[in-house]
Amino acid sequence: MNVKERYYEIDLFRFIAALGVVLFHYTFRGYAADEMSILAFPTLGVFFKYGFLGVDFFFMISGFVVLLSALERNLAGFLISRITRLYPAFWVAVSVTAIVTVIIGGSRYNVGFTQYLANLSMVSGYFGIKAVDGVYWTLLIELKFYFLISVLLFFKQMKNIEFYLFLWLLISVLSIYIKLPVVVEYFLFTRWSSYFIAGAFFYLLRKNGSSLLCLVGIVLSYFISITYAYWSTSSLYRQYGTEFSPLIISGIVSILYILMFLVSIKKTEVLNKRVMLSFGMLTYPLYLIHQNVGYMLFNHFGNDNNKFALLGITTFLMLFLAYIFSKYFEKNIALKLKRILLVRLVI
Confidence of residue 200 (pLDDT cuts 50, 70, 90): very high
Residue 231 pLDDT more than 70? yes
pTM for the model:
0.96
Confidence of residue 210 (pLDDT cuts 50, 70, 90): confident
What are the tens digits of pLDDT across the range 26-42? 999 999 999 999 999 99
Q: What is the mean pLDDT of the chain?
A: 95
Whole-Å CA distances, 328 to 11, 89, 172, 335, 342: 19, 10, 41, 12, 22
Q: What percent of the chain stands above pLDDT 70?
A: 97
Summarize the confidence of residues 158-171 as an average pLDDT: 97
Length of the chain: 347
**Positive or negative: CA dihedral 235, 236, 237, 243:** negative
For residue 319, what is the enclosing H or E element? Answer: helix 307-324
Neighbours of 98 (CB within 10 A): 22
Residue 192 pLDDT more than 80? yes
- Rounded to 10 deg, the angle between the 75-104 and 137-154 helix axes is 170
Q: Secondary structure of 241-309 in the HEC alphabet? A: CCCCCHHHHHHHHHHHHHHHHHHHCCCCHHHCCHHHHHHHHHHHHHHHHHHHHHHHHHHHHCCCCCHHH
Q: What percent of the chain stands above pLDDT 90?
A: 94
Summarize the confidence of residues 221-244 as an average pLDDT: 96
Residue 1: the pLDDT is 38
Residue 346 pLDDT more than 70? no
Longest dimension (CA), the chain: 60
Residue 345: the pLDDT is 63
Neighbours of 80 (CB within 10 A): 19
What are the tens digits of pLDDT across the range 60-86? 999 999 999 999 899 999 999 999 999
What are the tens digits of pLDDT across the range 293-344? 999 999 999 999 999 999 999 999 999 999 999 999 998 999 999 999 988 7
Question: Domain limits of the chain?
Answer: 8-341
Q: Radius of gyration over alpha carbons of the chain, in Å?
A: 20
Residue 2 pLDDT more than 60? no
Residue 276 pLDDT more than 80? yes
The residue with greater pLDDT, 194 or 346, is 194
